């Protein structure tokens, strides 16, 4: 039987980063994935001859700078952060520049502390007696340096709703909608939901500028670096269960029956899938098992990929084509769209996050043509009646109708398309519930993620580690969990 120091399951961004770091430290690492390609949710599949998706998670602006630095990736980033843009019936509306600058200054001022949340091993808030005094002092000092007012704001803001917090900074409802739509995408939160402000804050602090070349460039660079570091790859290999030796995990077993041994396994796959599907029932004590059973993964996203004969003219501006826009004109548009999900319906008037993907990544489409990736919110995974052909068609029609309203002429330019409903998203990317972040992002699943005894990436099961989006600090495209998990494994 083949034997490695570590097996990393899931070759998405987190898996690639973790495997590379372990290999760079001289370990013998095997990186496995059920797909025939690497990249996970950021891999862009070809959906029509000549046209490729940018991936499901295709906004690279949150990728932690430390990842690029520590892995020695030579990628360039856009010089500026992207201010959200609303696609109104009258055309593009960027957020109010003056309000944006003012807010950005505040964001920048608290970024050192929120940055710690993203880049440092998490603080074990539930076991303050275990927190090393040094870590507590460092983080406390960072917080204190902000001054008392900012400290108080950092207690006040996170539990707020996105709507309430943004109302303190932005007068125009479309501006508030644009910021909220991006931050709450894929969650089970609406603008009025408490705790949404924390998601907004995290996203804005994490924004370090888009990577030039988009997800394609990122995945290619990660892939190359992993190979250079000596990571072994095994694709087209779906894990059936973890290999158990006594009470410990010592490798994986694939669905085709093959087994591979290792001292440790790092799973970057959703935590409930790892702990509940891949382990024998008796191995987890009941209280721990219950936490994974309670892990909420209600997916609310569908994706419509459009191959266009030409890029929409309305998205072209004097400064170049706009890549990311959204369609909500008021936070209540998002709120109403979300209401439907509570009753297991799809939004009659969805909120669309529209990415003009080929604008930043020309190889996604033939010359002169375009790829539009539309993330549709909210489309509940547990739709009443299920995602039948009829319901998929109704969703698609509602989406295209709204797009045509904002981008007249779009419909006529559609060459081909593909709709990924929440079940398709679940199947294609291995996401329980079709939840794009491996677990809902809300305060109750973000501060201690996924559960107190896996907070520092090591689980209660000897040899098993978690380090994907379902771990600290969460699921957007940051690379932070993979980075921190592998660091924790090396430190051990």
Partner 1 sequence: MSHPNKKRYDAIIIGGGHNGLTCAAYLARAGRSVLVLERRHVLGGAAVSEELHPGFTFSVCSYVVSLLRPHIIRDLNLAAHGLSILPLDCSFLPLPNGDSLARWGDAERTRREVARFSQRDSECLGEFGLAMTQLCRFAKRIIDEPAPDPTSLDPRQWKQLYRLARQLGGDPTDLRWLHYKLLTMSAVDFLDLWFESDTLKAPMSVSGIIGTFLGVRSPGTAYVLLHHYMGEIDGAFRAWGFSKGGTGGVSMAIARSAEAFGAEIMSSAAVDRVLVHDGRASGVVLQNGDEIAAEAVISSVDPNRTFLKMVGEEHLDADFTRSIQRYKLRGSSGKVNLAVDRLPEFSCRPGAGPHLQGDIAIAPSIDYLERAYDEAKYGAYSKRPYLNVVIPSLVDPSVAPPGKHIISCFVQYAPYDLKEGAADWPNQREAFGDAVVDTLAEYCPGLKESILYRQVLTPWDLEKEFGLTEGNIFQGELSHEQLLFLRPTAGYANYRTPIDRLWSCGSGTHPGGGLMGAPGELAAKTLLQSREL
Considering the rule CB under 8 A, would residue 411 count as an interface residue with partner 1?
A: no
348 in contact with partner 1 (CB under 8 A): no
Q: Is 193 in the site for partner 1 (CB under 8 A)?
A: yes
The count of residues interacting with partner 1 (CB under 8 A) is 40
Instruction: Tell me: does residue 447 bind partner 1 (CB under 8 A).
Output: yes
Measured CA to CA in angstroms, residue 313 lies from 54, 162, 182, 403, 413 at distances of 20, 32, 23, 13, 11
Q: Which of 27, 37, 66 minimizes the C-alpha distance to 231?
A: 27
**Phi, psi torsion values for 395, nearest 5 degrees:** -65, -45
Give the C-alpha separation, 291 to 289, whole Å.
Answer: 5
Q: Is 458 in the site for partner 1 (CB under 8 A)?
A: no
Find the binder of partner 1 among 78, 92, 151, 276 (CB under 8 A).
Answer: 151
Tokens coding 85: 């843009």
- Spatial separation of the C-alpha atoms in residues 465 and 339, rounded to whole Å: 37
- Looking at beta carbons only, is 90 or 129 nearer to partner 1? 129
Pick between residue 10 and residue 439 the one whose CB is nearest to partner 1. 439
Compose the 369-408 pattern: x for residues touching partner 1 by CB under 8 A, - for all others.
----------------------------------------
Q: How many CA atoms lie within 13 A of 42 on its CB side?
A: 32
Place of tokens 């204190």: 144
> Which residue, 341 or 488, has its beta carbon nearer to partner 1?
341
What is the smallest separation between the CB atom of 127 and partner 1, expressed in angstroms?
Answer: 7
Residues 466 and 459: beta-carbon distance below 8 Å: yes
| Site membership for partner 1, residue 142 (CB under 8 A) | no
Q: Which of residues 284-343 bind partner 1 (CB under 8 A)?
A: 287, 290-291, 294, 296, 332, 335-336, 339, 342-343
Nearer to partner 1, 398 or 443 (CB): 443
Comparing CB distances to partner 1, the nearer of 193 and 300 is: 193
Question: Least distance in Å: CB of 163 to partner 1?
Answer: 10
Question: Tokens 């592998």, residue?
Answer: 486
Which residues from 205-264 bind partner 1, rule CB under 8 A?
none
Please tell me whether residue 145 binds partner 1 under the rule CB under 8 A: no
Nearer to partner 1, 194 or 321 (CB): 194
What are the beta bridge partners of residue 370?
Answer: 308
Residue closer to partner 1 (CB basis): 261 or 443: 443
Contact 77, 231 (CB under 8 A): no
Q: Is 148 in the site for partner 1 (CB under 8 A)?
A: yes
Minimum CB distance to partner 1, residue 135 (Å) = 16
Residue 151: CB minimum distance to partner 1, A: 4
Specify the residue, 67 or 162, whose C-beta has the smaller distance to partner 1: 162
Q: For residues 153 and 110, what is the distance between their CA atoms, to the nearest angstrom? A: 9
Please, what is the minimum distance in Å from the beta carbon of residue 297 to partner 1? 13
User: Could you say whether residue 453 binds partner 1 (CB under 8 A)?
Assistant: yes
Smallest separation (angstroms) from partner 1 to the CB of 380: 13
H or E stretch at 152: helix 148-156
What is the Cα–Cα distance from 87 to 94, expressed in whole angstroms?
Answer: 9
Residue 136 or 224 having the CB closest to partner 1: 136
Q: Which is nearer to partner 1, 193 or 373 (CB)?
A: 193
Q: Which of 45, 192, 289, 423 binds partner 1 (CB under 8 A)?
A: 192
For partner 1, which is the closer residue by CB, 69 or 148?
148
Which residues are bridge partners to 87 per DSSP? Answer: 92
CB of 150 to partner 1, least distance (A): 9
Sign of the CA dihedral running 475, 477, 483, 484: negative
Q: Tell me the per-residue interface mask from 164 to 183 with partner 1, x by CB under 8 A, - otherwise.
A: x---x---------------
Q: How far is the CB of 384 from partner 1 (least distance, A)?
A: 11
- Run of H or E including 106: helix 97-119
Can residue 157 be called a binding residue for partner 1 (CB under 8 A)? yes
Question: Taking Cα atoms as reference points, which of 182, 219, 167 lies closest to residue 38?
Answer: 219
Tokens of 208: 């370090």
Q: How many helices (H) and strands (E) does the chain have?
A: 18, 18
Pairing of strands 29-32, 316-317: unpaired
Q: Are 34 and 270 in contact (CB under 8 A)?
A: no
In the chain, helix, strand, coil percent, each to 5?
45, 20, 40
CA distances from 143 to 103, 153, 363 (A): 19, 11, 44
Number of Cβ atoms within 10 Å of the Cβ of 290:
12
> Smallest Cα–Cα separation from 32: which of 17, 46, 12, 2?
12
The CB-of-443 to partner 1 minimum distance in angstroms stands at 4
Binding residues (CB under 8 A) for partner 1: these are 125-129, 148-149, 151-152, 155-157, 159-160, 164, 168, 189, 192-195, 287, 290-291, 294, 296, 332, 335-336, 339, 342-343, 442-444, 447-448, 451-453
């Amino acid at each position: 039987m083949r034997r490695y120091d570590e097996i990393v399951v899931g070759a998405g961004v987190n898996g690639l980063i973790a495997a590379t770091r372990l290999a760079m430290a001289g370990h013998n690492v095997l990186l496995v994935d059920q797909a025939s390609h690497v990249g996970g949710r950021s891999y862009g599949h070809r959906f029509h001859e000549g046209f490729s998706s940018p991936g499901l998670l295709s906004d690279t602006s949150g990728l932690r700078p430390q990842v690029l630095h520590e892995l020695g990736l030579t990628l360039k980033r856009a010089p500026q952060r992207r201010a959200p843009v609303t696609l109104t019936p009258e055309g593009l509306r960027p957020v109010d520049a003056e309000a944006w600058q003012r807010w950005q200054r505040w964001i920048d001022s608290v970024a050192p502390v929120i940055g710690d949340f993203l880049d440092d091993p998490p603080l074990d808030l539930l076991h303050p007696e275990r927190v090393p005094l040094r870590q507590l002092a460092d983080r406390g000092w960072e917080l204190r340096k902000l001054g008392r007012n900012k400290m108080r704001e950092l207690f006040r803001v996170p539990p707020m709703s996105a709507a309430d917090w943004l109302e303190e900074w932005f007068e125009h409802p479309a501006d508030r909608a644009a910021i909220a739509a991006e931050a709450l995408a894929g969650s089970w939160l609406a603008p009025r939901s408490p705790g949404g402000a924390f998601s907004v804050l995290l996203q804005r602090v994490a924004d370090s500028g888009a990577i030039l070349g988009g997800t394609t460039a990122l995945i290619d660079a990660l892939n190359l670096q992993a190979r250079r570091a000596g990571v072994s790859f095994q694709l087209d290999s779906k894990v059936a269960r973890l290999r158990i030796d006594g009470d410990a995990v010592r490798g994986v077993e694939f669905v085709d029956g093959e087994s591979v041994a290792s001292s440790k396994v790092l799973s970057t796959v959703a935590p409930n899938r790892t702990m509940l599907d891949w382990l024998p029932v008796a191995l987890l004590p009941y209280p721990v098992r219950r936490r994974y059973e309670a892990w909420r993964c209600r997916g609310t996203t569908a994706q419509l990929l459009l191959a266009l004969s030409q890029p929409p003219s309305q998205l072209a501006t004097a400064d170049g084509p706009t890549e990311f826009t959204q369609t909500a004109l008021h936070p209540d548009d998002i709120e109403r769209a979300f209401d439907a999900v509570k009753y297991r319906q799809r939004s009659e008037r969805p909120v669309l996050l529209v990415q003009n993907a080929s604008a930043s990544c020309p190889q996604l489409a033939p010359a002169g043509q375009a790829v539009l990736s539309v993330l549709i919110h909210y489309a509940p995974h547990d739709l009443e009646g299920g995602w039948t052909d009829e319901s998929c068609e109704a969703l698609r029609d509602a989406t295209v109708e709204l797009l045509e309203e904002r981008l007249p002429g779009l419909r006529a330019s559609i060459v081909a398309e593909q709709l990924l409903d929440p079940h398709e998203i679940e199947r294609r990317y291995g996401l329980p519930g079709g939840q794009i972040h491996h677990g809902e992002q809300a305060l109750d699943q973000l501060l201690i993620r996924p559960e107190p005894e896996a907070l520092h990436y090591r689980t209660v099961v000897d040899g098993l580690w978690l380090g994907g989006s379902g771990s600290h600090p969460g699921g957007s495209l940051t690379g932070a969990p993979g980075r921190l998990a592998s660091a924790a494994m090396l430190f051990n």
